[in-house]
Amino acid sequence: MLELPETLRVELKEPLGEIYTDPDALLAAVDDHAESTAAADSSTATSNSAGTTARLLTVGDVVTATLADAGRQPDIAVIDGRTEREPVDPAVEATLSDLAGRRLSVTNPPATISESLLTTLREAATTTELPVTISVDGEEDLAALPAILALPAGTSVVYGQPDEGMVHVPVTPAIHTTARELLAEFDGDTDAAISMLD
């Protein structure tokens, strides 16, 4: 298990990508990123070496529900039934309960990245059986970092930025490096955790 050190708390509050408030504009950016990556290298964006067709992974209940309500269920969604440490409202809960596809459950205590979360993210990132919803018992706040590493270039990770909007992180080799460097600063066996995702 990796634990978030106090020294990283402020740094991780900074968004890793552009913030959107309009779900349609965000979804257009997701599609543009996938298409431009596919045009540059036909081996990425639509299928990685394991065969996944995932383009969009969301972290957070409100973000996931917002995009689903806009007509696009994420290929992979990581949710915990809470927003800003409070239970989600009934409308969000209803949208999330209607998500199609497989449901996986993991335990992930607050301010940590558990081995079960890493394993499940990797499984979801390499499957062709999409969509997948990962329900977290605990907290999913840090799941974006390992998700970035688990996914191939051309995919997108979207997470919520409290009181600002939705952060779109286009997955590229450069953001893989950033995520790897940030995870390496966590407390715990970071080498083993990173190797589970590469």
Transcribe 12-72 into DSSP letters: GGS-SSEEES-HHHHHHHHHHHHHHHHHH-TTSSS--TT-----EEEESHHHHHHHHHTT-
pTM of the full predicted structure? 0.91
pLDDT for res 138: 93
Coil, helix or strand at residue 176? helix
For tokens 């968004």, what's the residue?
Answer: 15
Instruction: Consult the annotation and say whether 61 binds a ligand.
Output: yes
Whether 63 has a binding-site annotation, put simply, is yes
From the list 67, 64, 19, the residue with the least C-alpha distance to 164 is 19
Q: DSSP states of 84-139 as a string?
A: TTEEPPHHHHHHHHT--SEEEEEEE-TTEE-HHHHHHHHHHHT-SS--EEEEEEE-
- Check residue 191 and give its pLDDT: 94
Torsion of CA 139, 77, 67, 74, to 10 degrees: 170
What does the alpha-carbon distance between residue 30 and residue 85 come to, in Å, rounded to a whole number? 27
Instruction: Give pLDDT, residue 82.
Output: 87
Identify the pLDDT of residue 52.
53
What is the reported pLDDT for 41?
Answer: 66
Note the pLDDT of residue 137: 95
The ranges of the chain with pLDDT < 50 are 43-51
* Predicted local confidence at residue 179, as pLDDT: 96
| Whole-number pLDDT of residue 21 | 97
Distance between CA atoms of residues 32 and 13, nearest Å: 26
CB distance 87 to 12 below 8 Å: no
Tokens 């600002």 — which residue?
164
Strands 76-79 and 82-83 come out as unpaired
Residue 11, annotated as binding a ligand: no
Check the annotation: does 187 bind a ligand. no
